[in-house]
Every structure is written in C-alpha cells, then in structure tokens.
C-alpha cells in the first residue's frame, strides 16, 4: 500500500513541473487518482467513499484534493460536507480540513456572498463541534492559487490541520485523519448543517436521512424486494408503468449503518402509520391494525 505522507509529498514536489503539461496522459494525474486515492482509502471505513481529483476535463486543479465522503451526506465535493486533504503546491502545504462543499453554495448565492455564507456555516460547524474543534486549528487557511475554487475551499474550512511539506508524516496524518473522521460522524449525528432550532429530534432526523440514502435503499430493496412488509402492496406491480418503486425503506434499528435486518420495506401509507406508533419498530403491532386487503393483480 502506498504511504499517504510520501504520496502527498511527491505530488506537492512534482505538481509545479507537471501541471504545465496535458492532464489527460500525465503520470502525476495517474498517481493522484490511483496511488493517492488508494492511500486515502486505506484509512477509511467501509461507509466512506474516497475520491481524488487532479483536475477536471483538460484543466489541472490548482489545489488537488483527496476527499472522504460519508454516503449519508454526499458523494461529491461540490455539495454537502466531508473531510478533505487539500494540496497547495504554491505554498508547499497540505491541509486536512472538515469542509463544506463550496460549489453548490457559490452557485446558489454568487461568489462573494457565497463565500460569506460558507464562512458563516463553517463557524456554525465549529459551534456544533466545540469538543472536536479544540483539538484542531480553526483559523483561516491560505491555499494560494488565483482561481475561484481555492477561495471557496478556504471559506468552507471548518477546522483541521496544515502541514508544511517537511513535516508530513504518516503517524501525524493518520492520527489527525482518524480524529477528523470522528468529528465528521459526530456532525452527522448532531444534525449536520441544519440549525438546531430546526432539528427537534436529531435521532429522528438521522433516521430520515438513513431511510432516504440511495445506498441504503439499494441494499434494502435488494434484500427484501419491493412489496410492503405489512400489507403486501408492491408499488411496481400495483401501479403499471411506475419506474421508481413506490414502496419506501423503514429503519427498524436506530443506526446510521443499517444491515439487512435493520430495515423493512413499507408502502407510504403503512410507513406513515408505523411512524405514528409509540414504537416505530413494532411491525407486529402495525400488522394487527391493518383493516384492508390488497388483491393480487392479473
């Protein structure tokens, strides 16, 4: 397995020389997308999606990055929030950052106002995670570069650590990465970026997020099919021509990482009914309350 510190240092050293050449067949771009990503994936948990970017299309990124996405929140650096290692070849630094996806915010608010919004949200994250923020540096970061993206990354930095090239070591990087991924998990459990006055019950909010996450839905439908586990209605059979299954995923166990036994498939009506129960995990109680029969089609 490639070393995260060694690969990071190599990219910082080679980027100024190779970024003038075409991105498409650059060995450095391949190093970023393959070795660097693999080194990052080694430090990740199974629910993290790890991505590395050398640039987009034909253009080199001024700030190459390696990101850890929790699939409950995002699978793209443009939106949501995530942990990222940002390289500034110009400053010869690597910055580990708990960050907010800047592009979605910049698109919605414009550049100047978007950066102000990002800085405000980053401050909110520090307030929500004071215990974690205290372990790290919460001051502004300087990534160099001239383009819009580095300015967005700087504004969206909540807290983290900047390493100068000579100080890069696997021990420090892995310890900080581990702690920052724990902060990421706590931010999700505490309501993410939603203001606390909108999150009456963080556990219910998390359950809603888990039930609608694409990877959880895939897992649940693959394991249990598309019929409602209470009344038997199969949305795909009952409504001809409906491409998207009308049935929904219900979380039986309060966990952010459900297995097949932690989820059930319910039609929207039964789903609403079970959430209204005192115990939203009591499938037997829901079945006892059923007063209608669905015929089999055909």
**Per CB under 5 A, 230 contacts Zn ion:** yes
Answer for which of 54, 129, 168, 228 binds Zn ion (CB under 5 A) is 228
**Per CB under 5 A, 267 contacts Zn ion:** yes
Whole-number Å distance between alpha carbons of 59 and 55: 6
Cβ 222 to Zn ion shortest distance, Å: 18
User: Contact region for Zn ion (CB under 5 A) — 140-148, 176-184, 187-195, 261-269?
Assistant: 261-269
**x/- string (CB under 5 A) for Zn ion, residues 108-127?**
--------------------
Cβ 281 to Zn ion shortest distance, Å: 9
Binding to Zn ion in span 234-253, by CB under 5 A: 250
Cβ 295 to Zn ion shortest distance, Å: 14
Closest to Zn ion by CB, 125 vs 228, is 228
Closest to Zn ion by CB, 28 vs 266, is 266
Cβ 85 to Zn ion shortest distance, Å: 36
Closest to Zn ion by CB, 129 vs 228, is 228
Cβ 47 to Zn ion shortest distance, Å: 20
Cα separations (Å) of 24 from 21, 31, 62, 208? 9, 12, 16, 41
Cβ 48 to Zn ion shortest distance, Å: 25
**Per CB under 5 A, 270 contacts Zn ion:** yes
**Per CB under 5 A, 231 contacts Zn ion:** yes
Residues near Zn ion, by CB under 5 A: 228, 230-231, 233, 250, 267, 270
């Amino acid at each position: 397995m490639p070393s995260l510190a060694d690969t990071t240092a190599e990219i910082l050293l080679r980027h100024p020389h190779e970024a003038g050449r075409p991105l498409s067949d650059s060995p450095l771009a391949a190093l970023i997308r393959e070795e660097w990503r693999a080194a990052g994936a080694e430090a990740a948990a199974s629910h993290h999606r790890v991505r590395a970017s050398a640039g987009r299309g034909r253009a080199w990124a001024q700030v190459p990055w390696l990101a850890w996405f929790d699939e409950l929140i995002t699978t793209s650096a443009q939106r949501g929030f995530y942990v990222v290692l940002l390289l500034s070849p110009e400053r010869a630094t690597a910055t580990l950052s708990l960050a907010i996806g800047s592009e979605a915010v910049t698109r919605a608010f414009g550049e100047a106002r978007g950066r102000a919004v990002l800085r405000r949200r980053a401050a909110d994250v520090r307030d929500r995670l004071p215990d974690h923020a205290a372990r790290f540096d919460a001051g502004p970061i300087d990534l160099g570069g001239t383009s819009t993206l580095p300015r967005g990354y700087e504004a969206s930095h909540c807290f983290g650590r900047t390493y100068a090239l000579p100080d890069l070591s696997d021990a420090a990087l892995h310890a900080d990465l581990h702690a920052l991924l724990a902060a990421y998990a706590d931010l999700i459990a505490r309501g993410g970026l939603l203001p606390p006055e909108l999150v009456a019950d963080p556990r219910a909010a998390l359950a809603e997020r888990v039930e609608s996450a694409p990877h959880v839905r895939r897992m649940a439908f693959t394991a249990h099919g598309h019929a409602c586990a209470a009344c038997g209605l199969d949305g795909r059979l009952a409504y001809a021509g409906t491409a998207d299954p009308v049935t929904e995923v219900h979380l039986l166990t309060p966990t952010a990482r459900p297995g097949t036994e932690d989820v059930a498939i319910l039609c929207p009506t039964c789903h609403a009914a079970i959430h209204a129960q005192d115990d939203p995990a009591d499938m037997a109680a829901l079945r006892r309350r059923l007063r209608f029969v669905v015929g089999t089609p055909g």
